[in-house]
Amino acid sequence: MTTTTLAKKDIQKLQRTIVDGLEDVKAQNIAVFDTEHLSALFERVIIASGTSNRQTKALAASVRDAVRDAGFAKPRMEGETNGEWIIVDCGAAVVHIMQPNFRQYYNLEELWGDKPVRLKFGAAKPAAKETAKPVKAVSKPVTDLKRSNAAKKGVADAFPSKAQVKKLLLAKSAAAKPPVKKAAAKKVPVTPAVKKAVAKTAVKVAVKKTPARKTATRKA
């Protein structure tokens, strides 16, 4: 690897370490900017917010410990007395930990925010991999295999097939709706009295249909 590649890897490792240290104490609005083209003194400016003096001091201490534990030189700190604006000088990266009103007033993003660095925040730290224990295959005797196959067959027989289910549903629907029987027409017995009544009605209908003749009246 070339010297430039190693330097880039070191700065990437440093900025990741700083961001992890800030996230451990719940820093707000973390922003990372590439300042290599603006200053020869440092290559990254990292800005984060803390809601109180206590939190800003805790954030600065967390960054200091994380950078030192990662193998870098121990950072220098300024402004930790009041905790309103703490600067952590990590060499190639400078961290500004500010309370929201100070951050809004000084607006460092306008000064250093020409080239923001895209970085995944909230990235989970790699956990230790658990070694999987080898599982020994236990050979079953032939009798046990036969029993298990028989049991599987019995379970399969206990559940009806699709055709049987369809047949049962059709039978149930047919039983739920009994067939509607048509009422048979009642036959009225023809008696002599009925015949006489029918004949009278027929005569009345015929008399109504025939028009009455008008007779001419003679003058006296």
Domains of the chain with bracketed CATH:
9-112 (3.30.460.10)
More confident: 42 or 135: 42
Q: Are 21 and 72 in contact (CB under 8 A)?
A: no
Q: Which residues on neighbouring strands pair with residue 87, listed in sequence order?
A: 78, 96
What b-and-e string marks burial along 176-208, b requiring 16 or more CB atoms within 10 Å of the CB?
eeeeeeeeeeeeeeeeeeeeeeeeeeeeeeeee
Distances (CA, A) of 132 to 39, 129, 135, 139, 159: 50, 9, 9, 21, 38
pLDDT band of 131, cuts 50, 70, 90:
very low
* Other Cβ atoms closer than 10 A to 38: 15
Indicate if the pLDDT at residue 97 is higher than 60. yes
What b-and-e string marks burial along 70-85, b requiring 16 or more CB atoms within 10 Å of the CB?
eebeebebebbeebeb
| Tokens of residue 157, six digits | 């027989």
Query: Using one digit for the tens of pLDDT, what is the confidence trace for 135-191?
Result: 444 444 444 444 445 444 444 443 444 455 455 555 555 555 555 555 555 555 666
Give the pLDDT score at 167: 57
Q: Are 49 and 99 in contact (CB under 8 A)?
A: yes
Indicate if the pLDDT at residue 215 is higher than 60. no
Q: Are 59 and 50 in contact (CB under 8 A)?
A: yes
Give the pLDDT score at 177: 52
d(CA 67, CA 87): 14
Give the pLDDT score at 209: 53
Query: Using one digit for the tens of pLDDT, what is the confidence trace for 43-88?
Result: 999 999 999 999 999 999 999 999 999 999 999 999 988 899 999 9
More confident: 126 or 206: 206
Give the pLDDT score at 128: 40
Side-chain half-sphere CA neighbours of 119 within 13 A: 24
d(CA 70, CA 67): 5
Distances (CA, A) of 220 to 131, 198, 216: 145, 47, 13
Indicate if the pLDDT at residue 21 is higher than 90. yes
Give the pLDDT score at 189: 60
Indicate if the pLDDT at residue 109 is higher than 50. yes
Give the pLDDT score at 25: 94
Q: Are 53 and 137 in contact (CB under 8 A)?
A: no
| Tokens of residue 111, six digits | 């000064």
pTM above 0.75, yes or no: no
Indicate if the pLDDT at residue 220 is higher than 70. no
Q: What is the mean pLDDT of the chain?
A: 73
The identity of residue 205, as a single letter, is V
Give the pLDDT score at 196: 65
Give the pLDDT score at 198: 62
